Structures are given as structure tokens and as C-alpha cells.
Copies of this chain bind each other. A is one copy, B any other.
Amino acid sequence: MSMTFAETLYKGYAQTIALDGPVLADERSRFQHIRIFDSPLNGRVLVLDGIVQLTDRDESSYSEMLSHVPMIEHGAVKRAMIVGGGDGAIAEEVLKHKDVERVDLVDIDDRVIALSKIHFEHVSGAAFADPRLTVRAEDAFPYLKAAETAGRYDLIVADRPDPVGPAEVLFADEFYSVVSRALAPGGFALFQTGVPHYQAGELTQTVSQLSSAFKNVGVFLTVTPTYIGGHMGLTWASNDSRLGTLDHDAIAARFEAKDFPTDYYSPAVHRAAFALPPWIARLVPGKNR
């Protein structure tokens, strides 16, 4: 019997992925329905609550852009936090930067972490064994609210799923406030803000909400094929810095000094990511375009 997974993210439009071999994991955790399987064209796939979260073949377009773009522009990220990200993909990219001293990964679901360690070792690489990484299986919201995180992080990446189920709280005004409070001077917070072609409202609303919690906000783009619908919006926020200001040569000099390979990120791709097609720019409220 051949099996096919049909994504349930949208009404009236879907991607379907044939399975190649048996289902590797199919488990209802306390928070969500976790499925992992192999596929002929997309490699290994992680699905949460019916929505594709990660595939082998295109995760670099997401994890590299959410980490290297802000880290290269910041120039001296020492402490980073990942909200969610239990698969380890972003942690791996952040830890490629040798001057990073500490990464706190806070994912609410210990089962996503445990299953990813088994089935996505090739995606997380050396991350989970890196002594600079601390993994906490807990709710990121109270974690960030605690007094001791104030001003702690140079980088916070909200690797959040779509705004349904357990992640809904990660799209609330109060969440943005606690993220803002946890940033160190010069720090950047990054948020995936959906696929504008099918989730236009998510980009507009998130930028608008972030503008209340942060001084500076802006949008850049990546293209992750299985986040179906073309471009994905990535939104940055900061209280005292701006992203997208470095020119190509400065980016290239900093990246060259880093000395690690990438699949999606390059200095040219970094600059290019800030060029929004007019139809996307029109979704970004006012001064943040």
C-alpha cells in the first residue's frame, strides 16, 4: 500500500507528499501530533499537527537565514536563545559561529526534541553534543518573563510554527514584550511570519504588533519550498539597531572570516533577501517597508 501525506494548513490548497518506506514516528505528545517519515522528493519530513515543519532538503533556507543574517550584521553575538526549534536545525547554524558562548534552546515539547535527536541527527549535526547548548523542555513564555533573562540575549530566534495550537501564545502582544525585554543592547529578535502568498494577514499583523514592542522592525525573505507558497517572510526587531544596513563587501568580509560552508546563505543572498517584491512590500505597514 502506498501512503500519501496531505497537509491541512489551508482550505482549498494543499501539498501532498508520498511516503517512501514506513512511518518513522507517529505520536501524540502532550502538546501536538508528531509525525516523521521519508519521502522520495523531499527527504525526511517532520510534521506537527498536520503541517510540515522541516524537510531534509530545504531546511537550510530557513535555519541559515534566521541565524546568519542577524549574526553577521550584529557582529558579536555571544548569547542566543531559540524559542521552539526542538529539531536542532537553527541551533546547529548558530553554533557554527565560534564566538558564540551560550545558546539556550527552549522548546515546550520534549518529545519533539527526543524524536529529532533520533531521526534528524543529520540536520542538528553536532549541536546537541555542544557544551555551549542548553536545552530546556519548557514553555518559552514564562522562561522569558522571569527576571533573570532581562537584557540577556544578543539574539532571540522565534522558531515558531503557525499560529494554531500550542504556538498561538507566541503571536500575542505580551510575548513580543517579554522578548523585547530579554534583548541585550544591540540585540536582534527574529520571527518567522508566514508565507505572504497565502498568509498575508500574518505578516501585516506581526509587523504591526512588533512595532509596539520594539523601536525598529523590518522584513526580509527566504524561500523554503515545503513552506508552500513561495516566499516566507522573516521579521526582525530591535530596540537600538537595524538589520539590512551592511553593504555586500562588509557582509562578505565578515562571512569569510567565519569560515564555514552554507547551502542557502551567501553574502549576495543576504543582501538580496531585503529586496521585497512590491506586492509583499505593500503588506508591510508604513515605515517598516
Contact = CB atoms under 8 A, between A and B. Distances in A.
A155 to B, nearest CB: 22
Contacts of A11: 18, 40-41
Interface in A45-90: 57-58, 60-61
Nearest to A17: B13
Interface stretch (A176-184, A206-214, A260-268): A260-268
Given A263-B277, A275-B268, A58 B15 contact: no
A197 B278 contact: no
Interface string A253-282: 000000001111110110111111111000
Interface residues of A, number: 46
A175 interface: no
A229 interface: yes
Nearest to A18: B12
Contacts of A268: 274-276
A65 B137 CA distance: 46
Interface string A124-141: 000000000000000000
Contact of A13 (B41, B230, B277): B41
Contacts of A10: 41
A172 interface: no
Contacts of A13: 15-18, 39-42
Given A225-B230, A266-B275, A57 B197 contact: yes
Given A12-B17, A40-B12, A225-B230, A263 B275 contact: no
Contact of A6 (B16, B198, B229): B16
Contacts of A157: none
A223 B61 CA distance: 14
A97 interface: no
A231 interface: yes
A267 to B, nearest CB: 9
A34 interface: no
Contacts of A250: none
A230 B263 CA distance: 15
A15 B14 contact: yes
Contact of A14 (B12, B16, B195, B198): B16
A279 B266 contact: no
Interface pairs A-B: 6 shortest CB-CB:
A272-B272, A272-B275, A225-B230, A12-B18, A268-B275, A12-B40
Interface of A: 6, 10-18, 20, 39-42, 57-58, 60-61, 195, 197-198, 223-225, 228-231, 261-266, 268-269, 271-279
Given A14-B15, A225-B229, 7 more contacts: A11-B18, A13-B17, A13-B18, A57-B197, A223-B230, A268-B274, A272-B273
